[in-house]
């Protein structure tokens, strides 16, 4: 009986952890750098950011690659902060 009490919290977490998630985000990698030139313009100096999101689809994962400008990155950060704040309302 006591064993149940001790392990209840961990078991609950495990059970919740098994709850279905669709396209679960598993990992995020990034790199950023500066575009120094293109075939059209010899000298450029723009920062670019590349993100790789690893998404679980069923039993395998899929990589999603995208590029962001700085303003897009700051917008992304801002939106995720708002999402976090919204989630915190519920705990």
Partner 1 sequence: MAAALSSEHFDNLQLLLKAPSKDAVRDICVQSHRGTHRRLEETTAETMNVTTAQAAQLLRSLHLLSHHVLFHHLGSAEQILRLFPDSFHSSLKNLITKILLENSPTWRTEALRDQISLPQLKELDWRVDMVTGSDSVGRLSVPTCLVQIKMEDPCPSAGIEPVSTVMVELSRESVDTMLDGLGRIRDQLSVVAAK
Residues that bind partner 1 (CB under 8 A): 12, 15-16, 18-25, 28, 30, 32, 34-35, 38-44, 46-51, 53, 55, 64-70, 72-77, 79-84, 86-87, 90-91
Is residue 46 within 8 Å of 35, Cβ to Cβ? yes
CB of 84: closest distance to partner 1 in angstroms? Answer: 5
Least CB distance to partner 1 at residue 91 (A): 7
28 close to 53: Cβ distance less than 8 angstroms: yes
DSSP conformational letter for 84: H
In the three-class reduction of DSSP (H, G, I as helix; E, B as strand; rest coil), residue 44 is classed as: coil
CB of 36 to partner 1, least distance (A): 12
Of the pair 42, 59, the CB lying nearest partner 1 is at: 42
Place of tokens 């704040």: 85
């Amino acid at each position: 009986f006591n064993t149940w009490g001790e392990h209840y919290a961990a078991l609950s977490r495990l059970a919740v952890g098994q709850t279905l998630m669709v396209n679960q985000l598993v990992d995020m990698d990034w790199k950023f750098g500066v575009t120094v030139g293109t075939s059209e313009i010899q000298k450029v100096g723009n920062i670019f950011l590349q993100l790789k999101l690893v998404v679980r689809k069923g039993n395998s994962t899929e990589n999603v690659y995208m590029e962001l400008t700085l303003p897009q990155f700051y917008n992304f950060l801002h939106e995720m902060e708002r999402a976090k704040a919204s989630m915190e309302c519920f705990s």
